[in-house]
Structure 1
Amino acid sequence: MLFTVLIGLITSSLIVPFGKFVKTKWGIILAFIPLLLFLYYLQYLPLINWDKSYVQHIDWIPSLGINFDFRLDGLSLLFSLLITGIGTCIFFYAKSYLKDDPYVDRFFGYLCMFMSAMLGLVLSDNIFLLFTFWELTSISSFFLIGFNNEKIESRKSALTALSVTGLGGFFLLAGLVLIGNIANTYSISELVSKAQLIQQHQLFPYILGLIILGAMTKSAQFPFHFWLPGAMKAPTPVSAYLHSATMVKAGIYLLARFYPILGNNPAWTYSLMIIGGITMLYGAFHSLFRTDMKGVLAYSTISALGILVFLLGLGTQDAIIAASVFIVVHALYKATLFLITGIIDHATHTRDLSVLQGLRKVLLPVAIAGFLAAISSAGVPLTFGFIGKDLIYEATLHSEKHLAIYLTAAALITNILLVSAGFMAGIKPFFGKLPENFEKIKLPAKSLWIPPFILALLGVVFGCFPTFIGDLIAQPTVNSIMSVKSDFQLKIWHGFNTILLLSAITIVLGTVIYFINKPSEHKLKWIEKLNFIAPITIFEKCYQTIYNFSTSYSHYFHNGYLRSYLLKIIIFAEVLLAYQLYLGGPLHINWELLSAVSVYEVVTILIVFGAVALTLSTSSRLTAVVSTSVIGYGICLLFVFYSAPDLAMTQFTIDTLTVVLFVLVLFKLPPFLNLANKRVLIRDAVVAIIFGIILAMVAIRVLHVPTNIAISDFYGKNAYLLAKGRNVVNVLLVDFRGFDTMFEVVVLSIAALGVYSLLKLRLKSSEKE
């Protein structure tokens, strides 16, 4: 399994040096990578069952409990087949769709990376490995959504998607860390057996909230849904792949995977039912007002994701069965409709539903695919969508009695609106009179219309023969989610009952709304009047507030003046040290601990004070440098008086070098300096005096603290034995703290190179401006 996850990353990295081959006809070879992966996982269909799963364990960081643990069970197999199966169609489609794009090699590099990230996510059996791939999906999708980076709308959409999903990733990480610490394991398989321990912990409400927030952002749940319609600025293959079967389903997968760990309790049930219910109604309602085909599909996708969250929240066996089937139903018809939208956009250069009509006369195979996808989304009998919608109604009707009628009503309204949305995207562009400017349109290359045709046809085949999906895919998936064995069969016909009546009402009323509702710019502008209370408006206002604060903060604290940085650092240190001294209580000085003051020390201190006064008062740069060196040499003498000759030599060397450097720099500076005004001098003097007093107080307090010399004794005893060195200081720097010293040398070397580069920099006159 590890190789199947890494193959996309390896391919992505190889595209960097060999990208020119992707732009040739040989680039079609890339499409066989997801095809081979699909065939590989397809062979596991008859092997995966209730008590059979495949696990791969590879040590990574075992000391932290982080390993490459992969697990293939019913749930992960379902998503792996969707990722690779629909991925195959997308790869073939994208090769023709982007054949003239100069950056097609870059596109396939991002796409391979994203496919690997999704496979790693659904196969991970370690929560930190899962999180790693979770974040990789956000990063790779950022590049895919912003692929047309010359357009400001694409860049903005990519940043919005990354911001929202990245924020959710932060919440998810916090929740995963809490779960791992409580259960004392990071293995998802082991967490299932400790579900009771986790749910009884006092932090469980916070864990549940954090995990749900992470899933909400990735799966575009209200109020974090707004990034998904914006992401429609991406090329159509991206929209078809990310928003039908992969990225937006990552949050659904997360909730399904953690259902046996966090589910089966009221907090889980009501939270997800409310979130999913609001999202599915909100998305379905807004899809009716869109005139852009991608806009219709985006909001209907939001609604479908809300349905899945709603069903996972309901949590009954019927609901989990419905969710498992609807994941496949939605992936098939939504990928089809997205790919058809791309074909229409390529052919007509518009996605405006108020303009598009009659295209069946020039794009007949595409029209057939659109019609099949539309009726599957509507739940017409003999399509897989019919079975999916029946299962949804069965789940709501068999829920708690006091909620059944309300849940069924919410599902019914949502499905009715989605029928209209599906017809708008899959049927409306192809029926009616063909406009004259579309008469010369020709059927595109087979690699463009065959993939959506296959996906649409599968929606009918699975609807006519549901046993295959039920026994080999849906049943293992339900068993994995619920962690109990369940036996059921998907059937085409369940007789005349309430569920069939609801399905008929759904189709009839949805069709009526489709004929009544005429998409127009007027309706779109009317609904956009409510944008002032929309989540995206609130998000943008929060963003602007944070941006303004950050800008003001940066301009004040990072104004480019070294003296300002030093002043603020010293003031902060003063406040921190003063607070710690305050917590330590009154300062009592034991004069007996202080040594007698000699005449040498007094004379040295007086010299240092005189040098300080001269440094502050002189207007000559050279005099200031010389007097500063006198201060340094005075400190060297103090080190000698207190038996620290090594420090004295170090100080002497550094001080001498500093003086030489300062004198060299003075050749490039005016000989005299302009002293600051009196206010600045007084301010700096006060800050410096306070700093000196605080450090003196710290030094005195240190003298009264019992000294623990255990560390000193260790280094003294082992310096020669372990490091073969007699100078303890040298041994510390080179051996015991060798890495620290090495990094300090590296930092200084980089700084030296930077300074040298600046000194040698020669700018053109235009660049200086």
Structure 2
Amino acid sequence: MTVGDWPLLAVALPFVAAALTPFVLRYAEAAAPYLLCLFPAAIFAAFAAAIPGIAAGQSLNCGIDWLPAVGIRLSVRVDGLSSLFALLISGIGTFIVLYAGAYMKGHPGIGRFFSSLFLFMGAMLGLVLADDLISLFVFWEGTSIASFLLIGFDHTRQAARRAAFQALVITGLGGLSLLAGVLLAGQIAGVHSLTELLASGEALRGSPLYPLVLALFLGAAFTKSAQMPLHVWLPNAMEAPTPVSAYLHSATMVKAGVYLLMRLNPVLGGTPAWESILPFVGGVTLIGGALLALRQTDLKLMLAQTTVASLGLLVMLIGLDTDAAIAGAVAYLLAHALFKGALFMVAGAIDHESGTRDIRRLGGLRRAMPVTCAAAALAGLSMAGIPGFFGFVAKETLYGALADLRVWAAIALAVCGNALMFAIAGQVALRPFLGAPRATPRHAHEGPIGLWAGPLVFGAKGLAIVLALPLAVSLTLGPAVNAVAGHPVDLTLHALPEHVELPLLLSLLTMALGVAAYLSADRLRSLLDTLAAVLKWGPDRGFDQAIAALLRLATLVTRSLQSGRLEAYITATMVLTALALLVPMTVHGEWPALPVWPHLLLHEWAIVAIAFVGLVAVLRARTRLTAIVSLGAQGFAVATLFMLFGAPDLAFTQFMVETLSVVILALVMTRLKLAERDHRPLGQKVIDGSIAGAAGLGFGALLLRVTQTPFDSRLSDFYEANSRLVAHGRNVVNVIIVDFRGLDTMGEIAVVMITGLAILALVRVRARIVIHKEDDRS
């Protein structure tokens, strides 16, 4: 690995931090969060140093061979899009570590929490930087597993366990969809990496399998980015500690699906399916999430539902597939990461210092928590889209894209959704701090620096970007838009409107509707509660019903197939064996020719006769014990034939098997006191005999067909040529058994030994039972 491979080191660094976390917490104690935050800070610094080169149009590609035999590399790609995501993941992650250190101070599971957090950070970095398709899937699943650990961190609560399970199931299904998608797309295009896949857009879009590929990738993206009706896991994930909520909802987990859609836009976009499915699903999610947010009274749940709405807005913009819409999506992506991360931290700080997140019990906190109030105001103004903040720039950009298209349905959805989010911004950022102070479970006061440093920085960042907007466009936003569009885009953003046009009018309409919604929030909440009481069903309840139905189906299948009767298991096994042997030979016309009558010597005929007599004796035996002994005689005769025809190793195995079989079956008969005779009715005997005959016919026909094919002597020639040279043995059979097939032989010996021990245990246990019974009688 060279200096140019530093992106690989950046991906590995969080995993190193996860391993070192217990030691840092043990020896650094109170200073541990400040030391641990240096890991994501170093990653942020590395990607920040690469910004000028990325902005100049360069891309970094590096990797190491993972499975070279199948062309799989652990490779990364750093371009405008992945660089923006990496900066958000590491930059916000730095303050999340500081915030978590203050929020969870003294918690007994803080070490486990930080380790899981760094695992998640590493998986998310790997996801947005991965270039190899299989690596993309591996890191994608890594985020699902790590989020499961984080959401279910407080595993003593049933609600946390359910939320973690729900998130794992839904996003896990999306992971399977992604795996199928990358395999199918790679097979169609004949590639293994995203770089190659993005260069084969026409081949993929022109394939008759394009609809299936699109459906698979959309399934992955919609589950991860919580598009309705698959959104239910995201609000329930609020059972996680607030640092997790802030991280997952601002720059990581929920943005993974958006990243996937943005990354694949050049290769999957530009089709009627793309431009109809994404705007529809995104629009529904935007309005649904905003209405659900307005219904909540818990600060975290309100923010969680607005995250659902924001993700719907991003998906809708990506689906419009114009340069202006993509610019609006990228700008809103950055704005949302900043103000949502800040507001989640504010909600956590309020809960930490006052003891509640219920907005009905909060008010007048501006004097008790002035710094937190300032941070909330900055982030809330950006979320509301007030001029002077980057949130306004992002909404103006997306309104400009919608105005250019004149898609009035999308415009209406965007205005209504943003107006509702304006109202929620006021509810979250203003209502807890304004008005008269209210009594809270704990005496509210300003928290330590770790609780307000992140929100204040993120809130101020929404203002600072506007002051340096041309620089932000040229260094970060522009390269990201170019990567999503798949071609250079002349991006120009304005901090303030230059003319009174439709985008400005839409912004003003959004603010007016937002103010009205804020003032009537309680009445709207009551109306939505009434509507929810009438409907009485939703995707969250549907998830429980689906899991319950799955369990009932599993129980039914288990009871049907696992009856507990050995006879049923053997019958099913033999029926399937007969079908597997006979059906293919019949369908494909592979039945063997009739064999030539063998020319045997007198003693060989004698052995055959013994085997035949043993078989007849088995069929005509009146007791089970007689059948067992007769079966052993027939098996010994077959083993003797093997020995006569030059297969001593096979004969030895057969002798051992027959000996053990007779001994075991005899012990079963004598020790377990089974019935001496077979009491099955004649009809059952005919059915069982037919099944046994069919299986025997299948095996016999298969063996005959195999022996009638031309003999391939390559393996025999190899053994003959190498037994003396490699194994230094003159007896080829011994060399094969001991050297070339040594593990196989050892396995056979182990089986025999385990069987013998089992027989011994059976005898001894049964003997003890008999002795104890006799003692009881006496």
Q: TM-score, normalised by structure 1?
A: 0.90
Find out whether 1:135 has 2:141 as its counterpart.
Answer: yes
Do 2:617 and 2:627's aligned partners in 1 also have CA atoms closer than 8 Å? Answer: no
Change (3 A) 1:699 1:194: same
Partner residue, 1:198:
204
Q: Which residue of 2 aligns with 1:161?
A: 167
Task: Check if 1:556 corresponds to 2:563.
Answer: no
**Cα distance change on mapping 1:459 and 1:587 into 2, 3 Å:** closer
Say which of 320, 324, 332 aligns to 2:326: 320
Which residue in 2 is equivalent to 1:52?
A: 58
Which residue is equivalent to 2:654? 651
In structure 2, how many angstroms separate the alpha carbons of the residues matched to 1:149 and 1:756? 46
Which of the residues 177, 181, 193 maps onto 2:183?
177
Alignment RMSD: 3.2
Q: 1:306 to 1:562 in 2, by over 3 A?
A: same
Q: CA deviation at 1:79?
A: 0.2
The aligned counterpart of 1:575 is 579
Match of 1:601 in 2: 608
Superposed CA deviations along residues 415-438 of structure 1, whole A, max 9, x for unmatched, are 111101111122111112212346
Question: Per-residue deviation at 1:16?
Answer: 5.9
Q: Which residue of 1 aligns with 2:768?
A: none
Question: Structure 2 CA distance, aligned partners of 1:705 and 1:286?
Answer: 67
Structure 1 residue identity aligned to 2:335: V
- Most deviating of 83-92 and 639-648: 639-648
Partner of 2:642: 639
Which shifted more, 736-745 or 285-294? 736-745
Matched, 1:391 2:397: yes
Distance 2:388 2:503 in 1: 16
8 A contact 1:288–1:519 mirrored in 2 = no
1:297 is displaced (CA, Å) by 0.9
Q: Is the 8 A contact 1:23 1:99 kept in 2?
A: no
DSSP 3-state at the match of 1:430: coil
The separation in 2 between residues aligned to 1:708 and 1:375, in whole angstroms, is 81
* 1:492 corresponding residue in structure 2: 495
CA deviations on 1:350-395 (whole Å, 9 max, x unpaired) are: 2222222222221121111112111110100111101011011001
- Name the residue aligned to 2:511: 507
Contact 2:575 2:691 survives alignment (8 Å): no
Q: Distance in 2 between matches of 1:234 and 1:33?
A: 23
The equivalent residue for 2:264 is 258
Amino acid in the other structure paired with 2:692: F
Match of 2:609, as an amino acid? V
Query: Which of these residues, 352, 357, 377, is aligned with residue 371 of structure 1?
Result: 377
Displacement after TM superposition at 1:736 (Å) = 5.8
How far is 1:171 from its partner? Answer: 1.1
Residue 267 (structure 1) aligned with residue 273 (structure 2): yes
SS in 2 for 1:115: helix
Superposed displacement of residue 84, structure 1: 0.3
State the one-letter code of the partner of 1:204. Answer: Y
Q: Structure 1 residues 722 and 229 mapped into 2: Cα distance closer, same or farther (>3 Å)?
A: same
Distance of 1:657 and 1:216 partners within structure 2: 58
Find the counterpart in structure 1 of residue 720 from structure 2: 720
Q: Percent identity?
A: 35
1:691 and 2:692 matched: yes
CA contact (8 A) 2:33 2:98 kept: no
Cα shift readout 1:435-473 (whole Å, capped 9, x = no counterpart): 234683222111112211111111122233322321211
Residue 464, structure 1, aligned to residue 471, structure 2:
no
Q: Which stretch of structure 1 is more off in the superposition, 418-427 or 526-535?
A: 526-535
Within the candidate set 521, 542, 563, 2:546 is matched to 542
Tell me the distance in 2 between the aligned counterparts of 1:21 and 1:684: 75
Structure 1 stretch 188-197 or stretch 127-136: which is displaced more?
Answer: 188-197
Q: Which residue of 2 aligns with 1:481?
A: 484
8 Å Cα contact 2:610/2:634 also seen in 1: no
Offset of 1:754 from its aligned partner? 11
Note closer, same or farther for the CA distance 1:176–1:574 as it changes in structure 2 (3 Å cut). same
Identify which of 418, 428, 433 aligns with 2:431: 428
Question: Which of 112, 119, 122 lines up with 2:118 in the alignment?
Answer: 112
Counterpart AA for 1:77: S
Cα 1:676–1:348, aligned 2, differ >3 Å: closer, same or farther?
farther
Q: Distance in 2 between the 1:757 and 1:41 partners? A: 65
Structure 1 residue 234 displacement after superposition: 0.7
Cα distance in 1, alignment partners of residues 658 and 230 from structure 2: 59
**Residues of 1 paired with 2:225 and 2:143: CA distance?**
12
Equivalent residue number for residue 222 of structure 1: 228
Query: Is residue 30 of structure 1 aligned with residue 36 of structure 2?
Result: yes
The answer to which of 324-333 and 270-279 deviates more is 270-279
Q: Please list every run of 5 or more consecutive structure 1 residues that lacks an aligned counterpart in the other structure.
A: 762-769
Q: CA deviation at 1:125?
A: 1.2
Q: Distance in 1 between matches of 2:215 and 2:67?
A: 28
Secondary structure, aligned partner of 2:386: coil
1:285-300 superposed matches below 5 A: 285-300=291-306
Displacement of 1:245 after TM fit? 0.7
Q: How many positions carry a matched residue from both structures? A: 751
Q: 1:118–1:679: structure 2 CA closer, same or farther, 3 Å change rule?
A: same
Task: Give the match for residue 419 of structure 2.
Answer: 416
Amino acid at match of 2:613: L
Shift of 1:284: 1.1
State the AA in 2 paired with 1:200.
G
Offset at residue 108 of structure 1 (A)? 0.7
Measure how far apart 1:176 and its partner are: 0.8
Structure 2 distance, partners of 1:101, 1:730, is 65
Q: Kindly tell me: are residues 212 and 694 of structure 1, through their superposed partners in 2, closer, same or farther at Cα, counting changes over 3 Å?
A: same
Superposition TM-score, scaled by structure 2 size: 0.89
